[in-house]
A and B are shown apart, each in its own frame.
Chain A
Amino acid sequence: GESVGLHLPTLSVQEGDNSIINCAYSNSASDYFIWYKQESGKGPQFIIDIRSNMDKRQGQRVTVLLNKTVKHLSLQIAATQPGDSAVYFCAEPNNNQFYFGTGTSLTVIP
């Protein structure tokens, strides 16, 4: 079946530093990925998506990089703020559902 996974379950960064959250996937035919942010007690919130015909996509303070050769994508958060503390999931839609990684918990240290 499909699978996406994350490299690190937890990540701590100093406020103002950049954060990098990684995700690997198994299906080389995967053509679309989404990053979600889930704050404590809330549902996942859409952050940014990327199609497989792109290597990079930028949003506000966030950048997603896609390396199809090694089936890896990453979410980069610039100038990390306390409000960025949350669990981050990569997700891939396929076969009537979204497959989610296990999530990386980001803690921002003031």
Chain B
Amino acid sequence: GAGVSQSPSNKVTEKGKDVELRCDPISGHTALYWYRQSLGQGLEFLIYFQGNSAPDKSGLPSDRFSAERTGGSVSTLTIQRTQQEDSAVYLCASSSGRRAFFGQGTRLTVV
């Protein structure tokens, strides 16, 4: 596609449930990033994928968070046993150089 695509755009889930968020990066981009943005806040780094290298998971806030990237393209961010503090906008970005391009984000609300 023309840009980074994320789905769903909105997700409401009950506390304790698992959720999966999807990111389709720009075709050909080797790098993929996940960020989290709480209401009115800046962007918090979660995880970075580059080609076939091991991902940089240093930003994941807890072991309830995991992500994978299949075939060097689509990525899924999984949050297990969701908590209310997980409510935020989850942003995905991809890049082939030093410019990163973001998707529209998934707004996650945990009730």
| Interface SS of A by simple majority | strand
Interface size class of A (residues with CB under 8 A): 20 to 34
CA distance A42 to B106 in the complex (A): 10
Tell me which of B14-22, B65-73, B77-85, B95-103 binds A.
Answer: B95-103
**CB-nearest residue of chain B to A34:** B99
Interface size (B, Cβ < 8 Å)?
22
Given A43-B104, A44-B91; A101-B98 close (CB under 8 Å): no
- B29 → A minimal CB distance (Å): 13
CA distance A101 to B33 in the complex (A): 17
Residues in A whose Cβ lies below 8 Å from that of B59: 97
CA distance A45 to B91 in the complex (A): 12
CA distance A72 to B33 in the complex (A): 26
Residues of A within 8 A of B (CB): 32, 34, 36, 41-46, 49, 89, 91, 93, 96-103
- The 6 nearest A-B residue pairs measured at CB: A43-B102, A96-B56, A97-B45, A96-B48, A100-B43, A102-B42
